[in-house]
Amino acid sequence: MKKTEHELLVRRMPRMSDGEYWTLFAELYRESPKEYLVTLLRGLGQRDVLSSDVFTSLAPLFSEVDRQKILQRLLPSYADPADIERLLVLLGLTERREWIVPLVRVEGKAAAFVLLRALRSVEDDRELLLRVARFLLRRGDALSFNVASLMRLSFGLDELRGTFSLQFQPWQLDKMEQDWAYFSRQMDF
């Protein structure tokens, strides 16, 4: 398919009914995933993949590259940690350790909350924790810096360099990992 045909599809897809869109998604994806996936994701609009039977039925067919493209496009659009977790599991990432790489690439409070929880599954892997924290510090935004600060406190990463202003009691650290509403409020400084 030529570039102009892809652009035409992207312009038409938002006007399609959900049924029409998902039927087209299934047909084109099965025909040539490599050629159509990005176009189909661009035309997704506000449609919810988590409630689509078609998307759910296609999920086992997605290659690793497809999963990465889907996560890159969809993760930033979710503001609810439960939806992020459902998407990760739907795409076959059933171990929390597998969640770390896609989540660390995404900005946003919900993704940061899920990342913090996923990091608990690798709390014995100090090198991985340090790599993630340093990546967040290099990103440089306030939320990433605060998550790195939380990691420093939660996982005892004293060798992590930086001027950290967040101070929490141990009970608050546990609550930050368990309570989305509390985490969200604390990150809205």
**Where in the chain are the domains?**
1-47, 99-189
* pLDDT of res. 101: 96
Number of C-beta neighbours around residue 152 at 10 A: 21
| DSSP code for 158 | T
CA distances to 23, 122, 161, 176 from 170, in Å: 51, 19, 21, 10
Compute the distance between CA of residue 20 and CA of residue 101 in angstroms, rounded to an integer. 33
pLDDT at residue number 71: 95
Read off the amino acid at residue 74: L
Identify whether the C-beta of residue 72 lies closer than 8 Å to the C-beta of residue 105. Answer: yes
- pTM of the complete model: 0.89
pLDDT score recorded for residue 162: 77
Q: What is the CA radius of gyration of the chain?
A: 19
Dihedrals φ, ψ of 68, to 5°?
-60, -45
Amino acid at 124: D
Q: How far apart are CA 172 and CA 154, in angstroms?
A: 10
Residue-level pLDDT, tens digit, the chain, 189 residues: 556 666 767 788 888 899 999 999 999 999 999 989 998 998 888 888 999 999 999 999 999 999 999 999 999 999 999 999 999 999 999 999 999 999 999 999 999 999 999 999 999 999 999 999 999 999 988 899 999 999 999 999 989 887 777 778 888 889 999 999 999 998 876
| pLDDT at residue 187, rounded to an integer | 86
pLDDT score of 75: 94
